[in-house]
Amino acid sequence: MVKLSVIVPFFNVQAYASDTLRSLRANAREDFEFILVDDCSTDGTADLLRRAGEDIEGVVVRSHERNAGLATARNTGLDAARGEYIAFLDGDDWVAPGHYARLLARTEALGCSFVRTDHVQVTGTSRTLRRVPHGPRGVVGDPRDAILPADRTTSVDYAYAWAGLYHRDLLDQGLLRFTDGLRTAEDRPWIWRLHRHAPSFAVLGTLTHFYRRGVASSLTRIGDERRLDFIRAYGQVLSDTASDPAADELLPKAVRTYCAVIAHHIGAVDEFEPSVARTLKSLCAAALKSMPQPILDNVLASMDPERATVLRRLRRRPAGIKETSAA
């Protein structure tokens, strides 16, 4: 019986994949499987994965014929997963030796549907501790209780799919699959759905997962239209939350988070290609107009003046306006 399936998508991360694969080798166990999904890499990543399939116990390699993005690559892994528990790892990150065995043992001892973990953020030679924004450690609770309050950073803002472990029951219930085709913010509808519908969770104070920031191939560093998928992702969050029985309580949090993300992207508009910057402004204006307006009014009134001013100006932007520059 397979106890744990670790799903690892890869796309053009040849420079970092060896570290990832080395860490999987140090976590191998006869009842673990590592599902490596090559999302149609064009560098030497595919060759590294093929060799890993021969050298590392429990490795299963799946390959896409065309690049489909992180969400779809994770779904490919979920389709192949046989484990009682599911974990995710990105192809440019790594975990410490024994990470998965310890995480599995602690999760089973708690008996909850999923756990979330702290991690170490790696930027060059810098190391920074990142904590799940939820106080109790090692205490089983209701995931819905970790969504609010609306005006603070909460567990749904810590959306990293790889920062945790998930029981297979959640997969069988449809809670672990991602929205196909999303290339950025794919974990936002995912984490909201998980916290709204899963029966129980806990937070573990582990610091054995290393998340690499500043990778050149990351979409957060690319200024093309793929980065605009955050609009579709957060639109899904709003739509799903609006159908929840507790929508009146939860929507202010969803709207506030979406507004903060819009303000962030508008503030970084110079990073986008000019045509994409124009589309970004148009789509963000439409998104603001589509939000529940009384809730949006309250959110803007409670935000810091600088961001609120940016959003109010964007909200007044006429539909279909043409701009001559990205500024």
136 and 257, same domain (yes or no): no
The answer to whether residue 320 scores a pLDDT higher than 90 is no
Confidence of residue 232 (pLDDT cuts 50, 70, 90): very high
Looking at residue 327, its pLDDT comes to: 32
DSSP 246-292: THHHHHHHHHHHHHHHHHHHHHTGGGS-HHHHHHHHHHHHHHHHHS-
Is 325 inside any structural domain?
no
Examine the domain organization and report whether 264 and 210 are in the same domain. no
- Give the model's pLDDT for residue 156: 98
Residue 139 lies in a domain: yes
In a domain, 327, yes or no: no
Category of 185 on φ-ψ map: left (φ > 0), alpha (ψ -120 to 50) or beta:
left
Residue 290 has pLDDT above 60, yes or no: yes
Q: Is the pLDDT of residue 171 over 60?
A: yes
Confidence of residue 317 (pLDDT cuts 50, 70, 90): confident
Return the closest-CA partner of residue 90 out of 21, 162, 34, 164: 162
Q: Phi/psi class of residue 138: alpha, beta or left (left: φ > 0; alpha: ψ in -120 to 50)? A: left
Task: Indicate yes or no: pTM above 0.85.
Answer: yes
Q: Which of 177, 199, 218 is the last residue of a domain?
A: 218
Q: Is residue 324 part of a domain?
A: no
pLDDT of 314 > 80? The answer is yes
Q: 63 and 206: one domain?
A: yes
Query: Does residue 324 surpass a pLDDT of 50?
Result: no
Domain end among 163, 189, 218: 218
235 and 288 together in one domain = yes
User: 36 and 146: one domain?
Assistant: yes
What is the CB neighbour count within 10 angstroms for residue 293?
11
The reported pLDDT for the residue numbered 319 is: 60
112: domain CATH number is 3.90.550.10
Asked whether residue 82 falls in the same domain as residue 211, the answer is: yes
The total of structural domains in the chain comes to 2
The answer to whether residue 322 sits within a structural domain is no
Structural domain ending residue among the three candidates 185, 218, 251 = 218
At how many degrees (to 10) do helices 305-315 and 274-290 cross? 90
Residue from 306, 299, 294 nearest 263 by CA: 306
According to the model, what pLDDT value does residue 260 have?
97
User: How far is 94 from 122, CA to CA, in rounded Å?
Assistant: 10
175 with 37, same domain: the answer is: yes
pLDDT for 216? 58
303, 190: one domain: no
Q: Which domain holds residue 284?
A: 222-315
